Structure 1
Amino acid sequence: MTHSTVEGIAFTERLHGAGGEPWDLDEDEEDQDEADLDAATSELVRQLLQSGMSPADLIRSLTGGKGFGDSPFATPLPTPTLFDHRPEPATYRLRVDLNDVKPPIWRRLDVPSDLTLDQFHVVLQAAMGWFDVHMHGFRMRADGAWAYFVSDEHEDDGVHEGGLHEADVRLDQVLASPGDRITYDYDYGDGWEHTVRLEKVLPLGEGGCVGGRRACPPENCGGVPGYESLVESMGHGEGGELVDEDALDDLDDLDGLGDLDDLDGPMLMPDWDPEEFEVEEADRGVKAVLSGGWAGIPDLGTLDETLVGMLVAARGTAAERMLATITSAALDADPEEDPYRDLDAEIAEWMRPLQVLLDVVGDGVDLTSAGYLRPDDVSGIFTRLDMQKRWIGKGNREDLTPPVANLRRLGRLLGLVQARKGRLLPTKAGRSLREDSRALWSWIAGRLPAGRAGTKEPAILYLLAAASGGIPPEFSEVTAAVLGGIGWSGGTFTGKQASSAIDPTYEILYFLGGVDRQGRITDLGQALAAKALRSRQ
């Protein structure tokens, strides 16, 4: 934490009482109208930012350490001062450190100097291992204050109005000489800050990830404090070494993405290990982003002889099993025809839970102080969907009613609802799709396969198998053999990696009812998988 940040935090202590709770700015001025209060708050935020405080520290300080969701704040900020373009593109060797985490989590990258910041954002997501499910932003120092760059997400929320857009700024305009730094913020709720430092300027060459240490923290784990608690609960000592593997058995509520009774808990992969970092996997993801595709790997979205050729190239029994599984998926129909035209009634029934959720949310509903849906809203969803048939309980508390909690989780994963400042709100997509089951069906198909950059190929194979109506028991190992056989991940892709890569797609299908409790594909799952793959044609 910088000296200026400490000064900023000291300044905000005036806003807190002895108990550490935020001071009510309106307490002694009941006639102050809302517009004046907003203006005063914006001015305070501007001064704190210019004092050197980071967004994450500002949020934690103003809210007594609680944060207030993904969205930071809307306020005019200084315009960044940019360097001139380099005369010729070069390769930048960058060191990316996740701030305030011990032991350190870092990556070393080689990237073209003429990348725009919005492109560099995708590179960072792939290199670190984030899922790109929260807001992000870049900032740099300008005249002793932080200057921010605008993203599409900021514009949608009215944040950082009037600033330079990240898509219009190149990397060499913010980093010119070794030692120059910028900051990359991700997930303003958890408050992850990354320092990006230029180490070397090299001749233009192939980009990629050339080094790093330790796994990326799980999404939604609560920032640095939550991450540290999670690592400790898993039995890792201060130096990061695993001291008791049996401790993992006590984490039933965090055991993979399929068990999400804790609504806003960590997106913890089944085999996540905080010490593990595979530079080959990160390098593959970065190269994929920089090349705009997977160099040397056939386009898995064509669903024709290209896919068959990939399987043949893999050779062996594994490829034969996969080929036998997916050839029954009937995905070679005329793309101009709608193979789902006779499924109107089924699609309406399948989409009904999400439409009920969107109907209850309406234009927005208040959440409890703990961040849950209020009892009346929980009861409304529980009753309208007849959840009492499959869940014993009153159905009026979200934290005690997993079917409702999981439905809300599904809505968020699909980009239909979002929590903001103590309210659950529909997104633009949620508002437009609320009453159109067909359009909602197509929207969900377009979101599959899910997952971060660099992990979707195994999920595509999973969807292919699902579209055929069955998932082989040895599916992860078969997928690993197929992809490894054609050189994916250096020919050493493992079943463990395949399972982790497939989990986000599996989670969506599971919550929709596309996969039953035994992992078997239902009619819904088969139709949705086929629709998702056809949408890639």
Structure 2
Amino acid sequence: MTNTPFDWGLQGSLVLPARTATGLLSCGQTPFISQTKVRSPQANPRAGAAGAAAAIHCVGMTEQPTPQPPISGPPISGPPTSQPPTSEPGNVTDLEDARRRFLAAAAAAGADSGADGDADADSRLQAMQDAARARRDRPKKPLPLLTPPATPTRFRVRVDLVGSEPPIWRRLSLPSHLTLDRLHDVLQSAFGWTNSHLHQFTLTGDPHGEETVGILTPFDVEEGDEGVLESELRFDHFLASTGDTLRYTYDFGDDWEHTLTLEAAEPAVDEPTDATVRCLAGQRLGPPENIGGIHNYERILAVALNPRDPEYSDLIEEISYFDLFSITDDIDLDAINRGLDRVARADAALAWLRDRRGGAGSPIADLIAGVHEEAQRYLAGFVGGARLMEPVEVDEAAAESATLVIRTFLRHVGDGLPLTKAGYLQPAAVIALMAELDPEQKTYGKSNREANTRPLLDLRETVTDLGLVRKYRGMLLPTKLGLAVRESPLALWHHIAARLPVERDGQARDAALLLLLLVAAGEVGTFITLGKSLDLATAVAGMQLEGDGRYGNGSAVYKPRHTREALEWAGSASLQDPRPFRLQMSAPSRLDSIGAQTLARAALTPGR
């Protein structure tokens, strides 16, 4: 059985190398937008010499999206029914080629077996083929579904990544009625996966589906696989007693196998409809995608943590690519639970976004509407995490702090400042502004020429783009709007929120909207962390930017420079970050603040 998060028409076949120069498979490993069905396990070129020579077989390089809405409805109270498809799967094995290879191997292994050797080998191969065909054609049993509990129940489940040592695991508390398609979302978030590959739930006692029909995704149904949709099955159809298990496999190339073990079933103390999922405990980070499976990950990680290892120089490229130089392998429970909250909020956020497309609605709604359903759910989770559905409130004191930098600039502009012939502020104005905006003199250089004082030049350009000042006949003048709001912090704050993002066109604007979304949701951390998050978010949104990055969009954090700086001024009430550059990169960002978060929320909810 194979499956993928999406439903695309698949035409033709092609053999491609396992990773392109961007670090992603050409045939659909971009996170949340994988569109192809894998016929054979993928090979990771960074997983050693054998992997470097391998290739991945993909179908469907002709893109014909036919997205289907997710199945919804009230939780089912008993075993679901499903009419399994009657069409045969499209996977066809070249039996004649297999026969030739089998005969060649048999001949090499027993050259002295006599004249009957070939005939015996042929007979054995035929017997194997007949047995395989008989197993395939044998009617399969229905899934052995349990009767769900009569009252709302919560499960405490331990999820182990099979083969990890020390174990990589999570302990989750979740409602027993969770459907398996949503359980898939939970597991992806809990382990840090990116939904870039196929997945499958199977019975622990029948992992290959030889005895019972399968647990299917919509993609499987189209492929003709036999079974029941995962969206029609509840978690408590499979687990009831302590020790019961279910198996979940993600990425049939790296083959990440997870064992879900029920530790306790307890009456739900919350509302019967409560879908809250919490991570109670766990150990070790989830592995990077496409690293070659659990054993290759453990090998590379062990070498990365020991620079004296003889393999260190040979694996330096892999260690760098997978960002394992400074890994601590400690989990952040708060971050995991924020991710689980986003999963739980995604459906409500999607409904809210659909009502705000176009016109005066949220500017993020149209961007999210343009991507595939699974990508919409991922991005909508951040909308829910940002609480964009709720009113945004700001008081006078908060507005004063958030607008301090821009109000200082407007005060110096006054009724107008003369410009040089080249169109820059004159040195006297630059010196006066920087004395107030950068009293600790953290800016590189003498700060007496605007062209050489980048923070001030960026400030002037941003204030101009916000419609607060303009150039006219060799002067920098306040606009009517600038005059109206420069003495009113609240009015200025609301104006800035309404004009964000500063970038107005193309990919810079889209990157700025996603930056606003991450900041509004409180998912910033350090500048380095933000860059990685924006790299992923822009890839999910289907953007292709230059730069390295795991997803090829390493430059995404720099595209919306003016929007980012406006949020930094709001978050810190200062033009410059006084910390050394090293700390600016590795310590909490100025965007990781209430001031920046509140302004970003307001920018994404105009009119509220």
Query: TM-score, length-normalised on structure 1?
Result: 0.46
Query: TM-score, length-normalised on structure 2?
Result: 0.41
Which structure has greater helix proportion?
Answer: 1
